[in-house]
Chains A and B, each alone.
Chain A
Amino acid sequence: MGMEKYRIDESKGLEFGIYTLGDHIQNPATGKRISAQQRIKEIIEMAKLAEQAGIDFFSVGESHQEYFTTQAHSVVLSAIAQATEKIKLGSSATIISTSDPVRVYEDFSTIDLISNGRTEIIAGRASRIGLFELLGYDVRDYEELYEEKFELLLKINEEEVVNWEGKYRAPLRNAEVIPRPVEGSLPIWRAVGGPPASAIKAGFQGVPMYLANLGGPASSFKMSVDAYREALRRAGHNPKDFPIATAGWFYAAETTQQAMQEAYPHIDIGLRLINGQSYPKQQFAQAQDTRSVMNIGSPQQIIEKILYQHETFDHQRYIAQMDFGGVPFDKLMKNIELIGNEILPAVKKYTAKGKED
């Protein structure tokens, strides 16, 4: 077995990715917001630059409320698929709870065909719940909608002819969900955040885990990682067959002080607008510690942090969020340049596993 099913090759070292929520927020330095059209085009451009810099993965999320612009995230991913050649693509996340798994699978296997087999799905249950009312779902079914539809998505991925019955969707009788992806199936990850309960569910299901970790010490997320692997073992799976991805804030600049100064106003305005409360400066200041999970700092500091996180989690992919809160495009370009020239070579060098591992 191994992780080939999920297109992960550990001999090449930790995979490095970029994700965007597709947030659409004014740049706090100017108070101006670019148009939704420009934001979407810049996301596509960011993916192209990421590919040129040697970054392994790029993903786009959906949020159906004010201050977001990639509600149709699969359409954006489709444009990225056409504009790129080798970078792997995914959703971060697809809210499967409020979507029809059949339609999601049709979309993503089509993107897989367009991209020549580079597409993955990360399925989540939404940390912002505005979409439930908009799309006609009851937020009281939050947990069950997710579990049922995620199971169906996995089933469609595994079986070419599907027979299925559930509570939240019409039954499927000998249904063929087509087109099929290039390799017959797609890597499908479970998006996990917060306490270990979701990580345990991912383990019992035997699916790879995408773990969001915005702030705090890396060690506090170790509990979710351990719980996930333990649940995999209990369900009869080999944890070595299942990759873990972590995802969190990222911002690189020449010096750590400069990175902190440039990043904070964006995170501050983004959280104020989206969550209603900012991230306290006192806690943000602790991001300078190597043990903090926030990858904000000089390239050298970020390399140390990512290697420390890799030592802690032994994960297979790290996915950086660098565009949150109206970060202007020239800064995104600079970040990608620092990743490609300085961070990526060092991270790959120290995390590549020999075949005997």
Chain B
Amino acid sequence: MKVVGLSGSKVGSKTRTAMDYTIKALIEQYPDIEVTLIDLAEYDVQFSDGRDYREYEGDTKYVAEMIMDADAIIIGTPIFQASIPATLKNIFDLLPEKAFRDKVVSMLVTAGSPKHYLIAEQQLKPILSYMKAQVVQTYVFMEEKDFYRKEIVNDDIIFRIQRLVEDTVVLSETYTNIRKAKEEQYGF
């Protein structure tokens, strides 16, 4: 099983910090899983121009292919101007319409204000559903007060990250098993 952690912003540190905790939890809880963290702050990804994702070059091609190749994706995103950042939206625009078919996608959201709580529900989930993801319904929402100097200081967040990791892996394995069993019945 391949999991990609996608840290969706070039700005700030909270999302990356939360992703680091998440990847660490994933490795500890499931040492056999192949995990890759892609922090978009570290890649030079171009804007989507509509071509097939395999025809991009360099970082853009790498990021798109890693995501397409994953069984599960954990997306970390901040909330900017009451929406997801353009860096993250661009990743979705680079990929085919049904890119997340047969993939489980889960979310961690960091924000400067509790007023942003429903942004992921109303803006990120519809994109993931449109792209055919099996979405882990519950996401981890974090605010400024949950962090102190690139550390998470709220134990509740740490527990919730552990549960998010577990839900992502369990759902991915479950859907894969159900699909395999179903496909065997087709007989072709």
Contact = CB atoms under 8 A, between A and B. Distances in A.
Contacts of B49: 139
A280 B101 contact: yes
Interface in B5-57: 49-55
B187 A260 contact: yes
A277 interface: yes
A285 B51 contact: no
**Chain B contact residues: over half helix, strand or loop, or mixed?**
loop
B101 A277 contact: yes
B68 to A, nearest CB: 7
Given A276-B68, A276-B96, A281 B55 contact: no
A139 B51 contact: yes
A264 interface: yes
A264 B187 CA distance: 11
A75 interface: no
A276 B51 CA distance: 12
A129 interface: yes
Interface residues of B, number: 18
A261 B68 contact: no
Contacts of A261: 187-188
B186 interface: yes
Interface residues of A, number: 17
Interface in B148-188: 182-183, 186-188
Contact of B187 (A128, A139, A257, A275): A257
Contact of A281 (B51, B53, B188): B188
Contacts of B53: 276
24 contacts: A129-B51, A129-B52, A130-B55, A139-B50, A139-B51, A257-B188, A260-B188, A261-B187, A261-B188, A263-B188, A264-B188, A276-B53, A276-B68, A276-B96, A277-B68, A277-B96, A277-B98, A280-B101, A280-B102, A281-B182, A281-B186, A282-B183, A282-B186, A285-B186
Given A130-B55, A282-B183, 15 more contacts: A257-B188, A260-B186, A260-B187, A260-B188, A264-B188, A275-B52, A276-B53, A277-B68, A277-B96, A277-B98, A277-B101, A280-B101, A281-B183, A282-B182, A284-B186
